[in-house]
Structure 1
Amino acid sequence: MYKVFFNDHQLLWNPKIKNSLKDNIDQFVEIEDVETLFLMLSKLEKTECVVKLFLSSKKVDLLSFLREQLTRIDAAGGIVRNANGKLLFIKRFGKWDLPKGKIEQGETPDLAAVREVEEECGIHALQVVKKLPSTFHIYRSPYIKETNNWVLKETHWFEMSYAGNEKLAPQTEEQIEEVCWLTPSQLEMVYRNTFGNLKELLGHYMGQAIEISS
């Protein structure tokens, strides 16, 4: 199943699961062309309650279509675990987050993820353990002058290990207010004040079912 977040709204699709998900989806939307897509996003933008939309299309592959019609940004980041089993988190604009950032030209996603963690948290000698599922979200960019200034951001995630004891140092020029190590038992605090796509990622990583709209 594909899942793209727009704020905390969820856009889902996969023809094989349409019938099984019918009772859990707020609405079905047929995407016929780019105008249909932009209209749906504009309506979602004005919707205050959190909804799940099941997308379908007889004409296009939806992920490829989103990548073609929206401005694409690739980012990378990490879930970092230290020798004590704690996980690394940052707080930015008052919300808990994971260290991540844009992939620079010529970088591979894994190298970009390590660089971003190092820059945002002030630690080094990270070891990439494995690739994790990517997350996708859509937002408007104030830097794009067109009316339909939608961006599709794919973040490539990696599990990393860290064996050092460096003092954490938030990258304040990136508006990072705090960096800290949290135990798995403290994640409920994170879930209450983070983004839907990160709840999804952390739930997958920890093997937990997280209610996205909570």
Structure 2
Amino acid sequence: MYKVFVNDKPIILTTKVKKESEFENYLLKSVNLKKVIKELNTTNRKKVHIIHHNEKKLLKKFLKKLPNVIAGGGKVLNKKGEVLFIFRNGKWDLPKGKTEKKEPIEASAIREVEEETGVTGLRITKPLETTYHIFKRNGRYRIKITYWFEMYTEFDGDFTPEEKEGITKVAWLNKKEIKKAMKNSYANIKTLVP
């Protein structure tokens, strides 16, 4: 099973047909994805299920439905166990961004964290789950595939929020602050920061 978010509502990719109540089932082979996205954006429907019989091909076939944008991002920890957050476009988020041509995903993730926050001395400690969300740019829907990494740094300097990317604040948040920030964040970020 995979979740692809449209804003904060999931499209659940699955091989199992469940009885519809608060969601609708669609077959991957015949789904009109633009219609599904519109339905999630304009109705009170909380989620939809898209079904395909082959678990191994499910995600691959779904990702062919729209152009893909590959991104890398980081859940950065400091020596106090705090997590690095950015405040972008009115919501708390983790730093991430698009890969450049032929750039390894790990290098993209580190570069994007540095560019968006000014934090340096980053070291990847482990990969985290990959997230998927659909967004619209220049009138076309795309699927952003973000490869996340847990990182560590002993950085203790000043932050430099990348304002041209809509980032107005960068902060280390402790567990209590994270809990509060998650009330104003994105569903896919909530899966990375329990």
Using the size of structure 2 for normalisation, the TM-score is 0.90
- Map residues 125-204 of structure 1 onto 2, 5 A cutoff: 125-142=121-138, 144=139, 149-203=140-194
Shift of 1:98: 0.5
| Cα-Cα RMSD | 2.1
Are the aligned partners of 1:2 and 1:14 in contact in 2 as well (CA < 8 Å)? yes
State the distance in 2 between where 1:50 and 1:171 align.
35
5+ residue gaps, structure 1: 204-214
| Identical aligned residues as a percent | 35
Corresponding residue number in structure 2 for 1:14: 14
1:32 maps to what in 2?
A: 29
2:4 maps to 4
**5+ long unaligned stretches in structure 2:** none
Tell me which moved more, 90-99 or 57-66: 57-66
Please give the alpha-carbon distance, in whole angstroms, between the structure 2 residues aligned to 1:39 and 1:164.
46
Q: Deviation at 1:11?
A: 1.0
Give 1:24 deviation, angstroms.
Answer: 8.2
- The farther-off stretch of 185-194 and 112-121 is 185-194
> 2:76 is matched with which residue: 76, 80, 102?
80
User: Aligned in 2, Cα 1:37/1:23: closer, same or farther, shift over 3 Å?
Assistant: closer
Structure with greater proportional helix content = 1
Q: Deviations over 1:160-189 (max 9, x none)?
A: 001121111111121210000000121121
Q: For the structure 1 residues 178 and 56, does the alpha-carbon distance in structure 2 shift closer, same or farther, using more than 3 Å as the test?
A: same
Amino acid at match of 1:137: H
Structure 1 residues 50 and 176, CA gap change in structure 2 (3 angstroms): farther
Q: TM-score, structure 1 length as denominator?
A: 0.82
